[in-house]
Amino acid sequence: MRPVSRKPGVIVLDDDGERAALIARSLAGSYDVATAGTVGEAWQLAARRTFSAALVDWDLAPGGSGIQFLLNLAERLPLVQGILYSMHYGQTLRWEAMRLADVHVVLDARAPRFLREAGLVLAECLAPAIPVVPGQLTPIGPAARARWGAVSRATRTFLEELHRAARSRSHVYLVGEPGSGKRLAAALLLEWRRGWRRGGGVLRRVAPGPCEAKILFVPPLRRRTADLPMLVGRHLLEAAGRDGARARVVSADALEAIRQRPWWGNVRELQQALDRACARTAPGSEITAGHLLGPVEPAPAADQWAKLRGQRDSLLRALEDGGSVTGAARLLKISRANLQRRMEHLGVVHASVLPGDRKLLAGHARLVN
Amino acid sequence: MNLPALAALTVAAGGLIWLAFQPPRFRFVEHQLGVVADAAIPLNITGTSRDDFLLRNQNTLILVRLEGNERRAVAQMNFPRGIGVFGALDVTGDGRDEIYAALRDSSGAVAVLLDGEGDTLQSLGPVKGPSWAAREPWDGWLVPMAGFVRDGRQKVVCRVLAMFARQPRGVAVYDLQTGVRDWFFAMGAWPDRAYLVDLNGDGERDILLESSSPANGAIANGTDDEHAYALALNQSGARLWQSELAGKFASVFLLPLPVGSAPGPLIVAATHSHEGDPPASSTLSLMDGRSGRILKRLRFARSLTRPFYLESGRPGFVVGGNDSTIRIYDLNLSLEAQRRVDGEVEVWAAIDLDADAEPEIVASTRDAILVLDRQLRPRGRLSTTEKRLDPTPVRVARADLLRSRLSFGEKVAVAADALPDYPIDDPDKLALVGVGAAAAGYGIRRVATRLPRRRRIPAGVTREVLTTYAFLVHGQFQQERPFERLRLWVQARCAGIDRPPWTLQGILEEWQGSGRAALEAFLRRLADAGAPPARLGRIRRLTHAFVQFLEDAARAPDHGQLGLAERALTAADALVLECCRAYWEVARRAACRADHATEQAVRARRARLSDLNIASDLRVEPGGDRLVLFERDALVSVVGELVDNAINALRGRARAELHVVVAPEPSDSRYLAIIVQDNGPGVLPERRGALFTPQGATRPGGGRGLHLARECARSWLGDLTYEPAPCGSGSVFRLRLKVVTGPESAMQ
C-alpha cells in the first residue's frame, strides 16, 4: 500500500518525458509529484490520488492541448490550481488560456529559469496556512494592489494589464465570475485614465491591427489563493472600523477551510461569510473553521457551465472582431440591447462606459496606511 | 429638334470635349493605419513595389505594409530605450532600405542598423562627449546619413550631433562589418544631410554636406555654428572645399544636379534664414561642385525651402518659400514659372505620379497638401484638418528612389502627420507629442495596377521546405534533440540541480550526429525555393556560433559551463527563429483564403446537389476568413473530394442535407477547420480504421480519394479526420488547416 504523503500533490502532464522527469526532480523536495505523458494517464492518476496543483504543457502530442485538459480540470476539480507552460509562450497563448480555462498563470518553458519559476508559483499557490492577524498586515505597495490583496501572480498580472489598458483608447471589457471584482476594476480603470489624462498623458490605440476591443479576465478567487490572507485581513479591519471594535483574528484552520472552498461567489461571498463569522464571535476574538457557514453560492451545473462558456466565448470573439458592442451585435445579428443583456448575464462588463464608483475606491488609503 | 435643345446639346458636347482634354486631377484617398504613432515614414524594405511604412511609437518601431486597402504589421522592433531619431536608407546598396534608430544612454549615443525583419545588422558607437552642465549626461546623437563602398567594404556616413555640449559634432564614417569608426571630421556647424556625389571627377563619390547654424558657440575645423556652410569631403575625410552661405539661425539646402544635366558638377543651394536675428535675406545660388565657388546668386526677402530637381523637358528645379510662392527655375537660375498659394509653402517632392513622363510637384501649406503639374497648375488639393505653424510635413513614398521602382503605377503613398481627434492646446506640443499618423494615397485614374509578378515556385518544393522545417524546428533529429536537451540542461542547472541527466559533450555529439545533417537538408531546400542568400548566411553564422559556444562550454570547468551554455542556447533560439522566418518566407507564397476555396468547391457542385435534391449550405463563421497554408487549387480539390463523397453517400436519400462550415478551431487559434457534414448512412465502425488507407474505399469502385486528401492535408501541416455525426446517422469530415500567422507564431 502506498504510504500517505503529507506533501501537497502535484501532477505534471507533459508528452516530453525528459522534461516531465526533470520538473518532477526539481519539485520532489517539497511536493509529492506524479508525471503523466497523456491526458488519459493524467485522469487515471487524478482518480487514484489527490492533487493540489497541475503543471501542464500546452502542446500535447498527438493533437492534444493542455488548455483542453485544464478546462476539464476546472470543471471537475475546481480547487486544483492549474498552471500552464509552453515552449511557445506569448500573449496570444496567455489570452487563450484565460479565455478558455481560467488559467491565469502561464509560464515560458523556453526561459532558462523556467524550473525555478515553476517552483515559486507552486510555493505561492500551496503555501501552508497561518493565522491571519489583521493588525500585523504588511502594506503591499500601491493602493490598487493593496485593495486587491495582490500577492498572487494572477492578480498582479491582471492589474498590470488593467493599468496598460487604462493608457490605451480601446474599449475595455472585463470578464469574470460574479463577485470577482469587475466593477471595482472598472472604477480603477476610470480612475487611472483620469489621472493619466490629468498628467498630460495621451491615450493610445492598441497597436497594430483593426481590433480596438481589449478584453481582460478578472481572476476568480480560487485562482488567487495567495491573496486570501490579505483580503480576509483587510475585510476584518474594515468591519472592525465600521463597528468601532477590535479586529478579529482568523485561525490557521479557518484560513485553510477558506482556501479549500471554490468560492463561486468570489470576494463578495467571502465578505458575507466573514461578516457572518464576525456576528458569531466577540470583537478581538479568534474566528475558527467552525464559525464559517457553508458555501452560499452553488456551483454551476456542468451543462449550464459548458453552455455559458461557449456563449461567452462566441460573444468575446464577436466583441474582438466587431471592436465595440454595436459592431459585435451586428456580427452576431442580434439587437444591441439584447447583446448587452447577454453580456450582463455572461459576466462581461464594458468598463469604459461604467460610471466611476468612487465609493469602491474609498478604502484604498485606509488599508495601505 | 428645336433651337434651345440643339444649343443645350452643343454646350454639353463642347463641355465633354473640353473635359476630355483636361489633365487628370488627383484624388486623395486616406488610409487610416489604425496605429497611433508619433512619426511615420515610407520606406522600401522588400526591394519590390510594395509600400511599407515605418511607424514609431515611443520605443517601438512598427513596420506596416499597405496592400490595397489592407494594412498589416509585418515587424515590430522594441528598443530598451526611447528612440531619438529613426529612419531608413539603403546603406548596403542592395536596393532595399535598412532601418536605423539612434539611441542614447549613460554609455553615450549609438546608432542601430536593422534589416527589414528587425534583425540588427550592426550597432555603431557609442559616441560620448563632455556634459554641458553638472550632473547632466552628454546630449548628443549619432545618426546614419548615407552608405558607400570603399575598398570592397561597406561604409556608413553618420553625423555626430552634440547639442549644448558642442562637441563632438561633425561627420564620422563607420565600417558596417566591424562597427569600428574609420574617421571623424569635427565641425562647429550642425551637419544636416549628406549627398554622395563625384565632385572632383576622380571616379570616387565624395561627401557633400549641408549644415545649419544653431549658434551655441561651437567652433571646430574652421567652421562655427554662427554660420551655415556647404562642405565637401572626400572618402578619406579630407576637406575638398567649404563655402559659407548664410549667417546664424540659418539652414542650407543643397541640390547636386545630376551628371549630364549641366556642364561639370553643379550644385544649387537655397538658404532658409527667416528666423535670423536680425532676419537676413535668403539666397539661391548656383555653385561649382569642383571648387565650391558661387557662379550666380539671387537674393530674396523671405526664406526658401529645399529645392527639387525636375527631370523632364527642360531641366530645372522647383523651390518653395515663405513668401507664399512656388517657383520653377532653369539651370541658369532664370525664372520659368511661379505661382502664389495661400501661406508659406514647402515643396516635398517632384515625382511622376501618373506615369506620363512629366513630374508632379507635391507641396504643402499650413492647411493643405497640394499637387501641381510642371507648369504649376493645381491638380489636387487635400485640406488638412488642423492649422499648423509650419507647412504640413509630407513624406512621399519612393521619392528618393529610382524611377524604375516607381513603375508600379497605382499607388504613390503620402504620409502626413495628422492629429485626428486629440485636442492639444499648445501648438508647440503638437510637434513634440505627435500622437497621430495617417497615410494618404493618391488614386490615379488613368494607370492600371501593374504589380510585378512573384516568381512562382512549384508546390512540391514548398512542401519539401515545410516538411524539413517541421522536422527541424520541432527538434526531432531522429530521436536526438540537442537544442531541447541543452535547454533542459541549462534549466536544471539554474534550478540548482547539480547533475542533469545529460552532459554537454553528449549534447554536442547529438548535434554532430543528425542535427547538422537535418539543418543542411533544410538549407538546401530553402536555396531551391529561392530563399534570400542573406537569410541562409545568417543561419550559417548562427549555427557556427551555437557550435562554438557549445564546444567551449563542454571544455570549460564545471563552474564556467552555465554561462557558456546559456549563450549557446541563445544562439540556438536565434537559429531556430531564423529557420522559422526562412520557412515563413517560402510558405506564405502558398497561402490562400479557406472560405474562398471552399465556396469555389461547393459552387462547382451546386448543379449536382440541386439535381439530387440535396439541401446544402455553406457557413463561414467569424474568423473563418483567414489565410491558411495551402495551395488554393489543392484545397479546392480536397474540399471537392469531401463534398463528392457526401453527395455519393446522400444519393437517393429523402431529406438529404449537406452542411459545410468554415470556422476557427475553438481550442486552438493556430488552426482553421472546414467541416463537411452530411446525414447519410455514415461509415461502419469496423471500416473507420481503414478509411484513410489506400484500400479504404467504402463503396464499390471507390478510389483512394480520402487517402490522398489526408496526405495532401498533412503535407501542408494540417490534417483530415472523420467522426460520426453527433446525432442520428451521418458523417463529419474535419479538415484542419494551419492559419497563416506571423513568423514568430509560425514557430508553433
- Name the band, by pLDDT with cuts 50, 70 and 90, for residue A163: confident
Which of B304, B326, B170 has the alpha carbon at shortest distance from B233? B170
B182-237 pLDDT tens trace: 999 999 888 989 999 998 888 889 999 999 887 777 888 888 887 889 999 999 99
pLDDT at B326 exceeding the cut of 90: yes
User: In chain B, which residues have their Cβ closer than 8 Å to the Cβ of A65?
Assistant: 667-668
Q: Which residues pair with B693 in a beta bridge?
A: none
Q: Which residues pair with B663 in a beta bridge?
A: B673
Q: Is B539 helix (H, G, I), strand (E, B) or coil?
A: helix
For range B483-504, the mean pLDDT: 88
Q: Which three cell numbers stand for residue B625?
A: 476568413
Q: Which of A328-342, B474-488, B687-701 has the highest mean pLDDT?
A: A328-342
Share of chain B above pLDDT 70, in %: 74
The contacts of residue B393 (CB under 8 Å, 6+ apart) are B348, B364, B416, B417
Can you give the pTM of this predicted structure?
0.51
Spatial contact of A330 and A322, defined as CB atoms under 8 Å apart? yes
Spatial contact of B297 and B287, defined as CB atoms under 8 Å apart? no
For range A45-63, the mean pLDDT: 84
Size of interface A-B (CB pairs under 8 A): 96
Q: What is the dihedral of CA A108, B467, B75, A158, to 10 degrees?
A: -30
The contacts of residue B708 (CB under 8 Å, 6+ apart) are B641
For range A331-358, the mean pLDDT: 79
Nearest CB to B669; choose among A25, A92, A110: A92
- Asked whether the beta carbons of residue A116 and residue B495 sit closer than 8 angstroms, the reply is yes
CA pair distance B568, A275, nearest whole angstrom: 57
| More confident call, A147 vs A220 | A220
A215-236 pLDDT tens trace: 899 999 988 888 888 889 888 8
Spatial contact of A197 and A161, defined as CB atoms under 8 Å apart? no
Site from A15, A33, A317, A331 to mutate, B interface, most B CB atoms within 10 angstroms? A317
For range B378-402, the mean pLDDT: 61
C-alpha distance from residue B693 to each of B460, B661, B698, B703 (Å): 22, 25, 11, 10
Q: Is B212 helix (H, G, I), strand (E, B) or coil?
A: strand
pLDDT at B693 exceeding the cut of 60: yes
The contacts of residue B135 (CB under 8 Å, 6+ apart) are none
Please give the radius of gyration of chain B, using alpha carbons only, rounded to the nearest integer: 32
- Name the band, by pLDDT with cuts 50, 70 and 90, for residue A66: confident
**Average pLDDT along chain B:** 76
CA pair distance B537, B337, nearest whole angstrom: 53
**Interface subset of B 16-45, CB within 8 angstroms of A:** 33-37
CA pair distance B639, B709, nearest whole angstrom: 9
CA pair distance B542, B539, nearest whole angstrom: 5
Spatial contact of B146 and B194, defined as CB atoms under 8 Å apart? yes
What local confidence, expressed as pLDDT, does residue B389 receive?
A: 59
What local confidence, expressed as pLDDT, does residue B307 receive?
A: 95
B153-169 pLDDT tens trace: 889 999 998 877 778 89
Spatial contact of A64 and A43, defined as CB atoms under 8 Å apart? no
- Asked whether the beta carbons of residue B494 and residue A113 sit closer than 8 angstroms, the reply is yes
DSSP codes, B554-621 = HHS-GGGHHHHHHHHHHHHHHHHHHHHHHHHHHHGGGEEEHHHHHHHHHHHTHHHHHHTT-EEEEEE-
CA pair distance B641, B623, nearest whole angstrom: 24
CA pair distance A264, A221, nearest whole angstrom: 8
- State how far residue B748 is from chain A, nearest Cα, in angstroms: 6
Nearest CB to A112; choose among B500, B569, B748: B569
Helix, strand and coil content of chain B, in percent to the nearest 5, comes to 25, 35, 40
- State how far residue A320 is from chain B, nearest Cα, in angstroms: 10
pLDDT at B433 exceeding the cut of 50: no
Nearest CA in chain A to B498: A26
Q: Tell me, rounded to whole angstroms, the distance of Cα B125 from its chain centroid.
A: 25
User: In chain A, which residues have their Cβ closer than 8 Å to the Cβ of B669?
Assistant: 92, 96
∠ CA A320-A325-A331, nearest 5°, is: 65
* B500 touching A (Cβ < 8 Å): yes
* A25 touching B (Cβ < 8 Å): yes
User: In chain A, which residues have their Cβ closer than 8 Å to the Cβ of B491?
Assistant: 22, 111-115
- Name the band, by pLDDT with cuts 50, 70 and 90, for residue A209: very low
| More confident call, B454 vs A316 | A316
B243-282 pLDDT tens trace: 998 887 788 999 998 877 667 789 999 998 755 444 567 8
For range B437-457, the mean pLDDT: 30
Spatial contact of B399 and B412, defined as CB atoms under 8 Å apart? no
A283 phi/psi in degrees, rounded to 5? -55, 140
The contacts of residue B453 (CB under 8 Å, 6+ apart) are none
Q: Which residues pair with B734 in a beta bridge?
A: B675, B721
Which of B219, B270, B221 has the alpha carbon at shortest distance from B246? B270
